[in-house]
Amino acid sequence: MVIGKIREQSTLLMILIGGAMLAFILGDLLNSGGFLLNGSPTEVGEIAGNTVDGRAFEERVQESIDNYKAQSGQSTVDNATTDQLREQTWQQMVREFVLGQELDEAGVRVSAEELYDLVQGNNPHPQVVQAFTNPETGQFDQAQVISFLKKMETDEDLKKRWIAFEKDISKLRRNEKYNNLIKKGLYVTKAEAESDYYAQNQSATIRFALKRYSSVADSTVQVSASDIEKYYNDNKSKYEQEASRDLEFVAFKVDPSNEDFEKVKSWADRTKSEFETAENDTLLVNRESDARFNARWLAKGELGGNIDSLMFAAQKGYVEGPYLEGQTFRMAKLIGVKMSPDSVTARHILLKPETYGSVEKAKTTADSLKAVISNGGDFAALAQQVSEDPGSGAKGGDLGWFKEGQMVPSFNDACFNGKKGDLVVVESQFGYHIIEVVDQKGSTEKRAVAFIDRTVEPSTKTFQAIYGSADEFARSITSIASFDQEITSRGLNKRIASTLKENDKTIAGLENPRELIRWAYKSEKGDISDVFELGNTFVVAALTAVREDGFAAIEDIKDELETGAIKEKKAATFMKEFDAAKAGDIQTIADKMNLPVEIKDGILFSANAISGLGREPALLGTVSGMETGDISKAIKGDLGVYVVYLESRSEVPAQSNYTSNASMLNSSLSSRVDYEVFEALKEKAEIVDNRAKFF
């Protein structure tokens, strides 16, 4: 954006930039990994031994985009949606390669006969049911499937999408079969069911002495480098990490200057006189306004704000403004006053030009149907037979009561400007409508107001000034320390983006920051970026942390490790103290340790935590194996070190069988299959994801 604006101002800069771009392109071409000179296809990754070719991957992404457009009715897709579809496509390919390989080896298949049954037979797949459910009845309509398949034979695009749909159903069915095979192999033994029964129902009462780690200040415990290293090695699994980066950055947002506001204000003042005398308001609004002409008839109170009272007190032709709303100068002109029904009920028949081969044929058919109805034809019957609005067509074209502005403009005007009993043909973006105005009620004064809007945008001069500030800031920095110093001395606001993954697409408050994230993964800790232009913001960043896949380095988590090592040393000391004090009952031990005896009752062995103590798995595990009257050895817990006396267990009657518990355990295991089986296979497979280097 800014490069384009500067280029407009300077031939010299254009030459310099052109030279830089040429050097960049040549450099890329000479690079062995470049797109143009690399003899083999660009690889965006590898999944379970299968190379993912970049071109093939992008073709799959484009298919997803095309399907999204067809389903949503949108002609374009924004960057955020494209990123989502690209991620969705990658995950689909991961599932296909990882699970597909396993399914092939297991011999899981879906026959042609089975697929036929899933699509149009007596046992349709849930996705088929969802796609062909009648919105009026809420029931699956097999006739719709048959009708669709017949129509598909003459529509290649529709046929292509249907084949893809069938493939998806086949894949889903294979997955279901595989998971069902695993579920059928799950078995809960009688011993497991019995153990679960007692764990769920038996509770215990304990008395215990607890020496909390917090009772001794961390500052009084000294740990050596070897203590820290030992703690790290003993707990290394806790510190496994994905690659990530931390950034600190300053954002220079490009907002319009006072001069930019004054320029638009001057333009609005000049345009106002033309607006006041214009005979064709539509033409003028479409020529001068940021928003196209859209003057709707509104009752008092519907315009909102001060403009509502002004327009309902004014004469036709009055222009208010220019006035400022946010960063937009507006002018409002009263272009019409009328009495209009409060609401209308109508019915219609919709004909789509694509069904009839052309706009002309659809219009001719609509005129013919209107003539038939005018001569006594049954409107409701015709609507049910030919209308392409399925919602109203099934009800004889009836649309019920609606207020002004709820329908598209041409349809709205025919209903609210006409009178009861009118039968007309109008065109809209949906096709041709044969409309009958069934009834009208109420009458209210309504007014139409046209607006000319002009949003104040930063000028080239403003962009250059902000870019200059960002560039001068970037050039003044030589290190992380000077980065912070310059921020402080200039009164700037530093922002932080933590644990950025290589494929991340967003940073809060920044527009499309992919290039900034990619820079972070090509740079070294302590590097300072050049100026990035992200939408209407210039960004200068410092790379403050680099973490690679694997285990965190000791120096990166030294404070956390030191805290853990101190806790370990306290635990070892406390356990020795308890061992020395162990003589007699729990009260005697507690007295020797100068600790109170605490009581907890109603402790369930199946619980994840103990009220007031939190998660203490070591304590719960020890108690579950004790007999009534036992005193435990010292137990290293999360909160401190315990010695426990098991005072009692609740009496739980034995059962003749434990079928109910077995069923619940089996159900719990089965519910995990769909997710955990695939995750286990994915973890086993080798997956290399290089997408971040290209997208």
pLDDT, tens digit, 9 for 90 and up, residues 581-603: 887 899 999 999 999 999 999 99
The C-alpha atoms of residue 212 and residue 609 are separated, in whole angstroms, by 17
**Using alpha carbons only, what angle is made at residue 568 by residues 564 and 570, rounded to the nearest 5 degrees?**
115
Task: Say if 688 falls within a structural domain.
Answer: no
Mean pLDDT for 419-447 is: 93
CA proximity to 1, closest of 540, 497, 457: 457
Same domain, 347 and 437: yes
Q: Which neighbouring-strand residues pair with 545?
A: 246
Position 17 pLDDT exceeds 50: no
Query: Among the three residues 339, 368, 392, which one is the final residue of a domain in this structure?
Result: 339
The C-alpha atoms of residue 153 and residue 207 are separated, in whole angstroms, by 78
Same domain, 225 and 167: no
The pLDDT of residue 167 is 87
The pLDDT of residue 426 is 95
Same domain, 263 and 302: yes
Task: Say if 297 falls within a structural domain.
Answer: yes
Same domain, 430 and 349: yes
Taking all residues of the chain, what is their mean pLDDT, rounded to a whole number? 88
- DSSP annotation of 528 reads B
Mean pLDDT for 300-312 is: 90
The C-alpha atoms of residue 552 and residue 571 are separated, in whole angstroms, by 25
Query: Among the three residues 548, 574, 595, which one is the final residue of a domain in this structure?
Result: 548
End-to-end CA separation in angstroms for the chain: 20
Task: Say if 63 falls within a structural domain.
Answer: no
Task: Say if 587 falls within a structural domain.
Answer: yes
The tokens of 563 are what? 């805290």
What's the CA dihedral at 600, 605, 611, 612 to 10 degrees?
70
Residue 449 near residue 303, CB atoms below 8 Å = yes
- Residue linked to tokens 């497979």: 685
508 in helix, strand or coil? Answer: coil
Task: Say if 106 falls within a structural domain.
Answer: no
The C-alpha atoms of residue 118 and residue 456 are separated, in whole angstroms, by 57
Same domain, 247 and 266: no
Give the model confidence (pLDDT) of 134-176 as tens digits: 776 778 887 788 888 888 888 887 888 888 888 888 888 998 8
The pLDDT of residue 38 is 40
The pLDDT of residue 136 is 67
The pLDDT of residue 9 is 39
Identity of the residue numbered 78: D
Instruction: Please give the C-alpha separations between residue 40 and each of 29, 36, 181, 202, 218, in angstroms, as whole numbers.
Output: 14, 10, 41, 66, 59
The C-alpha atoms of residue 474 and residue 176 are separated, in whole angstroms, by 56
Give the model confidence (pLDDT) of 464-521 as tens digits: 999 999 999 999 998 999 999 999 999 999 999 999 999 999 999 999 999 999 999 9
Which burial class, exposed, middle or buried, applies to 27 when counting CB atoms under 10 A from its CB (0-12, 13-18, 19+)? exposed
Q: Which neighbouring-strand residues pair with 253?
A: 537
Mean pLDDT for 414-440 is: 94
Same domain, 248 and 262: no
Mean pLDDT for 403-408 is: 88
Domain with 614, as residue range(s), is: 203-237+557-649
Query: Among the three residues 548, 577, 592, which one is the final residue of a domain in this structure?
Result: 548
Q: Where are the alpha helices (DSSP H) in 107-224?
A: 112-120, 126-131, 142-152, 156-184, 190-201
Task: Say if 64 falls within a structural domain.
Answer: no
Q: Which stretch of 71-75, 116-120, 610-614, 661-665 has the lowest confidence by average pLDDT? A: 71-75
The pLDDT of residue 156 is 81
Position 436 pLDDT exceeds 60: yes
Domain count, the chain: 6
Same domain, 307 and 385: no
Q: Is the peptide bond before 322 cis (omega within 30 degrees of 0)?
A: yes
Task: Say if 401 falls within a structural domain.
Answer: yes
The helix (run of H) or strand (run of E) holding residue 577 is helix 558-581
Same domain, 232 and 215: yes
Same domain, 319 and 358: no
The C-alpha atoms of residue 353 and residue 642 are separated, in whole angstroms, by 81
Task: Say if 407 falls within a structural domain.
Answer: yes
Backbone φ, ψ for residue 89 (5° rounding): -65, -40
The pLDDT of residue 635 is 96
Instruction: Please give the C-alpha separations between residue 126 and each of 72, 117, 119, 169, 303, in angstroms, as whole numbers.
Output: 21, 12, 10, 9, 46
**What confidence tier does 317 reach under pLDDT thresholds 50, 70, 90?**
very high
Question: What share of the chain in percent tops pLDDT 70?
Answer: 94
Same domain, 208 and 267: no
Same domain, 429 and 478: no
Residue 538 near residue 532, CB atoms below 8 Å = yes
Give the model confidence (pLDDT) of 619-658 as tens digits: 999 998 899 999 999 999 999 999 999 999 988 898 889 9
Same domain, 502 and 427: no
